[in-house]
Amino acid sequence: MPEIRNEEFQVVTLGAVKPDGTPDIANVLFRFPVPHQQMSIRQAVKVDSAKIPGRSGNVKQAVGYDDTEITISLTLVDEEDNGGNVTRSSIDQLKELQVAFRDRSDPVGENMTAKATYAVPTVFSIQSRLTDACGIKTVLFKSLDPSELPGTTDIEVAITFEEFEPIAVQVEKRRKEEVVKKQAQQQADAASGTAAGDTKHEAATGTEDPLAAAYRQGKEAAMGGPP
């Protein structure tokens, strides 16, 4: 099996999403190369805390996972032919990314309703070596931060995607999280009730003073047993 080395560009492909929310990666909308070590994925567990009445501190319970965040850093440079002529400028490349993030064109003239609908952020299917390994299928283009570099035509671009699942999947995840939270709170309440019961028992029966206990034990030892 050939060894895979992370020392070259990897291609990130953004495709369409079907009406049911499933990825349609075959319908390619945008594709761009990402340099070595310039793409990262952050995954984290979602933790909820349940308060225990009558006690300090909280009981922590893992209830699910936060939405995964994908970060990409790019440097856009002018593409030139063998003669040194610019065939695709860094600005043109930025414009393509801008359309993916937010298409400001007006395809229907002055129809403001249609313009507002067209401006809704787009959910993309995504394909790359890293996202495939993490099982990420659909994302929202969350942020685009371009900046110019002094004395050059290069443009630095920071891109952030956030994992974005179909509405039905999101609703089911939230339902499961609420079930886990409720179970954690019930366990916390039960623990609090047990602790309260122990306290009441001690208050009712009383607890022996340490000095009195030591005196009693010494007397029992001297007499060979309890009096």
Separation between Cα atoms, residue 211 and residue 208, nearest integer Å: 8
What predicted TM-score, i.e. pTM, was given to this entire model? 0.63
User: 150-200 pLDDT, tens per residue?
Assistant: 999 999 999 999 998 766 555 666 666 666 667 666 766 676 665 555 555
Residue 76's domain spans which residues?
Answer: 10-165
User: 17-52 pLDDT, tens per residue?
Assistant: 888 888 998 899 998 888 877 999 999 998 887 666
CATH code for position 84: 2.40.30
CB 71 within 8 A of CB 35: no
In a domain, 173, yes or no: no
- Pairing of the two strands 10-17 and 23-34: antiparallel
In a domain, 155, yes or no: yes
Per the structure, how many domains does the chain have? Answer: 1
- Cβ contacts of residue 125 below 8 Å, gap of 6+? 14, 15, 16, 17, 23, 24, 25, 137, 138, 139
In a domain, 146, yes or no: yes
Q: In Å, what is the CA distance from 157 to each residue of 54, 71, 75, 76?
A: 52, 11, 6, 7
In a domain, 219, yes or no: no
In a domain, 183, yes or no: no
